[in-house]
Chains A and B, each alone.
Chain A
Amino acid sequence: MGKAEQARRRLSAALGADAVVCDRIGRMLYEYDGGVDRALPDLVAFPSSEADVVEIVRIAAECGLPLIPRGAGTGLSGGAVAREGGIVVSFNRMRKIQALDYGNARAVVEPGVVNLELSQAAAPAGYLFVPDPSSQQACTIGGNVAENSGGPHTLAYGVTVNHITGLRAVLADGRVVTTGGLALDVPGYDLTGTLVGSEGTLAMVTAIAAKLTRLPEAVRTLLAVYSRIESAAETVSAVTAAGITPAAMEMLDGFTLRAVEAYIHAGYPLDSAAVLLIELEGLAEEVMQQAEEVRRVCLACGAAEVRLARDAEDRARLWKGRKHAFGAVGRISPNFYVMDGVIPRTRIAAILRQGDAIGRHYRLRVGNIFHAGDGNLHPLVFYDGRQADEFQRALAASREIIRLCVEAGGSISGEHGVGMEKDELMPWMFSEADLDFMRRLRAVWNPAGRLNPGKLLPAFRHCRETRLSTPAAAPLEAPARNPAGGPP
């Protein structure tokens, strides 16, 4: 009897037959996530409780099978793909909101709770859960924790780790630990911070204490239209320099906005080189003032036109163009590859031009839709999977663009995570010593390497092969990696 069959029998006995899937179709349906990586798991298990998770972890240990935690499978870096086979642990049946404590502005949720549903549940009381990846209508909070997800509102409010105060997690040996708590500051090491963004390589999270944030009193959304991309890029720095931190500041380049406008009709002018979508939140008076100030800055930087959303409907339409942009551009090309990288926001214009040149070199079109405020780029490389080498060219072009980001002092990932997509690029950013230290940390939690193997950190053999001209030890002031997950 093989390991997988042994595990299947034991899991069926412990969790019930309907909590285990091992038929060919079932396994095939868990070979993908939202990205391009694929690998077949041996089994899929569906825990309904923490006790189930403990059973799964013990059985996997005894059968010697890897464990791959999975939320909604909307990630783009292969985080939930069973790279080395094993048991995919799907958290879709652990979707209870266990507590909503408005007095203390906290929620306790199971990992399978859908991001948007927490905000919807808290909305009547005037609260929301801030991290808002574009996949928020489907992605789970467990997945957000694993990937340290961001979203348009990362700029003002931070990423997922800034909104999680405590976790319960099942360790690789089946013990259950609690990290942090409901309070903001809990004595001891910040294990919550360690677990958030660990991409399932350290433990399996079973409960999450999340901060709830007051819905803002007022929200204003502006659309600034530019005939030169440099002017748009300059605005991004100028707004911050004016002492204003918008809740979100998003950019679409001309090529992309035309593609989006054709399908979404968000009202983006078709003849522009770039648009900036700027959102301000706060107290009503303050927001009015800031909107005026932002308008002034945009015009001073050369904006051809600045529009202020008239009402909630208008605002929703402007955002729809952004939130649904990826799907919309999918209509102009059979396939596209979404990259995720970070650059200093002062370098936006130069990098966009260089990215475009890289695309031309590979004879592929590159579009850009991204979180301009925090320099989180999402170059889209369009290709046609039916043409023999286009995917390989798209991959090569994307990697060159990411290299450009690192060389500009940025990062290989803004929010999609490293997963199996970019583990081999980690040496572009981290020294041997940095990586070695991360491996040691992982070994403390995950000594047998059974939790999500083949993710986040490169296998040793790759390190020397792909080193770039990065410093031996990254200086402290180097831009911090700002990881997260879910589609941008």
Chain B
Amino acid sequence: MNDVSNPGGTATSKSSGAEAPGEGAIAALEMPPPSAGAVSAFQTADRPRWEDYSRCVHCGLCLNVCPTFRLLGEEMDSPRGRIYQIAQADAGRIGLDELRMHLERCLDCRACETACPSGVQYGRILEAARAELAARPAGSALRRRLRHYLFARVLPSRGRIRFYAALLAAAQRSGLEAFGRRSGLLRALGLEPAARLAPAVSRPVFHSEIGRTFPARGDRRARVVLLAGCIQNVFCAPLNRAALGVLQANGCEVSLPAGQTCCGALHVHAGERETARRLARQNLAAFNPGDYDAIVTAAAGCGSALKEYGDLLAGDERARAFAAKVRDITEFLAALGMRAEGLRPLPVSVTFQDACHLAHGQRIRSAPRELLRAVPGLKLVEMRRADQCCGSAGIYNLEQPEIAVRLLEEKMELVAETGAAWLVTANPGCQLQLQAGVRAAGRSQPVLHVVELLARAYGLNE
């Protein structure tokens, strides 16, 4: 045991179990580039790049905005910690499987990007690392095949989405789903989180509109493409109808090109970059961006991914030109200047939940609020930590249900604090998650997308 005359203080760690070379000495380099001798855990062309991750100076300013760090209180589940793990994996100090757990637990909400003073592009780093994980998938063979089927076969295909939606609708109507829940069958199949979140299938779905062009109401102010998404068409058809109606009401001629498909956002988040590229190319081929003033989406998650097509298809000029035209619907309407005529008073208090891929991914915060404030009689009550993820995060709520549920419960408390009658957001995924949260809390609060609220104010029929 040390006494006071020998308090220690050598310049090296005496920690037991030092593994990697140079471990004992205090590391001088911040994040060393992979040296010639080390074998990186990364092997694909999409690997995380040193130029990106070394920009992190591990100052830690991101910690407290990270939902998983706030919840779990562990460095491993913080943005700084995840980047450090990626850097260590690239330096060959840890293997891919050691990396997996904490990267899978990340919501990819990108709140850390907003907090980062160094401009670290965390989403890009994480998504590259996830591509590595996806290239060498873990888990049971069944789970891997289901996942592949979902990403490569279902999401890209309107036909398959319609088929499964019809199946689900039948289950919901027949009471089969309720039976599955009561009997524990769903739990046994690992489908309980999905069933809990599964919203009612919209009737009718938003498919017959695709392939048509809708005229502007009044003077034409712009010609736009509306990208309708994938599962949004079957679960959030009213949202797409509202988006279409509000755009028309604002003097936009709206085209829904038949060739459009899923944007690939879920694929990028999951590391399925090749499928994402295939989808992106299909969207590029669906129409000529030069013919339109903007490419509009009502889904923040899609918008964020669409704006990054230039990155996904690096070197493709058409992708860059396409991405430059993409606008979130709130961004587009606020910039166009929303028509005040026709807006009826809506005397209701609402609170706004920022969609992560709008606030953090696209840095858009004021546009949706401006639009809400423009509605006569509407009172916007700000929520504390409105820009903290609700736990939806693409399909995170299916893959990490425990964390997602805890984040949602916390979010519901913050919503309740505001006392607002309606809850408004700007992304269909968030909307479904928040609706599930409202149901779980035994409340009947309406959860709307901004444009659905605007559609009501314009008196558009759904």
- A residues neighboring B (CB under 8 Å): 2, 4, 21, 24-30, 32-34, 36-42, 46, 64, 72-74, 82-86, 90, 92-93, 95, 112, 114, 116-117, 135, 137-139, 263, 323-328, 330-331, 334-336, 385-386, 391-392, 395, 420, 423, 439-440, 442-443, 447-450, 453-455, 457-460, 462, 487
Which of B52-60, B332-340, B418-426, B436-444 lies at the interface with chain A?
B52-60
Chain B residues, Cβ within 8 Å of A386: 29, 33
Binding site for A on B (CB under 8 A): 1-19, 23, 26-33, 54-55, 57-65, 69, 73-76, 81, 84-85, 88, 93-94, 98, 102, 115-119
Residue pair B7, A457 in contact (C-beta under 8 Å):
yes
Q: Could you tell me if B15 and A42 are in contact, using CB atoms closer than 8 angstroms?
A: yes
Question: Which residues on B sit within 8 Å (CB–CB) of A459?
Answer: 6-10
Alpha-carbon separation in the docked complex, A28 to B19 (Å): 10
B1 touches A138 (CB 8 A): no
Is B10's CB under 8 angstroms from A449's CB?
no
Q: Are A458 and B19 in contact (CB under 8 A)?
A: no
Known contacts A28-B88, A487-B59, then 19 further A-B pairs from the complex at CB < 8 Å, ordered by chain A residue: A21-B74, A28-B93, A30-B75, A74-B63, A83-B9, A138-B64, A327-B119, A330-B117, A331-B119, A335-B57, A385-B29, A386-B29, A391-B28, A420-B9, A449-B4, A453-B2, A453-B9, A459-B6, A460-B5
Residues of B within 8 A of A331 (CB): 55, 118-119
Name the residue of chain B whose CB is nearest to the CB of A454.
B9
Q: Which of B3, B15, B30, B74 is within 8 Å of A40, CB to CB? A: B15
Complex CA gap A323/B117 in Å reads 9
The residues of B that contact A137 with a CB separation of less than 8 Å are 61, 64-65, 115
- Given A442-B7, A448-B1, A449-B4, check contact A82 B13 (CB 8 Å): yes
Tell me whether A32 and B58 are in contact in the complex, defined as CB-CB below 8 angstroms, given that A448-B2, A459-B8 are known contacts.
Answer: yes
B117 contacts A25, C-beta separation under 8 Å? no
Q: Are B15 and A92 in contact (CB under 8 A)?
A: no
Docked pose: A21 CA to B2 CA in angstroms: 26
- Contact indicator B60/A34 (Cβ below 8 Å): yes
In the bound complex, what is the Cα–Cα distance between A46 and B75 (angstroms)? 11
A28 and B26 contacting across the interface, CB-CB below 8 Å:
no
Cβ-neighbour of B13 out of A83, A327, A391 (below 8 A): A83
Which residues of chain A are within 8 angstroms of B1 by Cβ–Cβ distance?
64, 448-449
Contact of B3 among A21, A32, A447 (CB under 8 A): A447
Inter-chain contacts of B102 with A (CB < 8 A):
25
On chain B, the residues within 8 Å of A324 by CB distance are 117
Chain A residues with CB under 8 Å of B84's CB are 28-29, 32
Query: Would you call B17 and A42 a contact (CB within 8 A)?
Result: yes
Q: Which residues of B contact A82 (CB under 8 A)?
A: 13, 15
Q: How far is the CA of A449 from the CA of B11 in the complex (A)?
A: 16
B6 x A460 contact (CB < 8 A): yes
A442-B4 contact in complex given A4-B16, A26-B76, A385-B32, C-beta closer than 8 Å: yes
Cα A159 to Cα B7 with chains together (Å): 28
Known: A40-B13, A385-B30. A330 touches B8 (CB 8 A): no
CB atoms of A72 and B98 under 8 A apart: no
List chain A residues, Cβ under 8 A from B93. Answer: 28
Interface CB pairs A-B, < 8 A, 25? A24-B98, A25-B94, A25-B98, A25-B102, A38-B27, A41-B15, A42-B16, A83-B10, A84-B8, A84-B13, A85-B14, A137-B65, A326-B57, A327-B119, A331-B55, A385-B29, A392-B28, A449-B4, A450-B2, A453-B9, A454-B7, A457-B7, A459-B8, A459-B9, A460-B6
Chain B proximity of A257: nearest CB distance (Å):
15
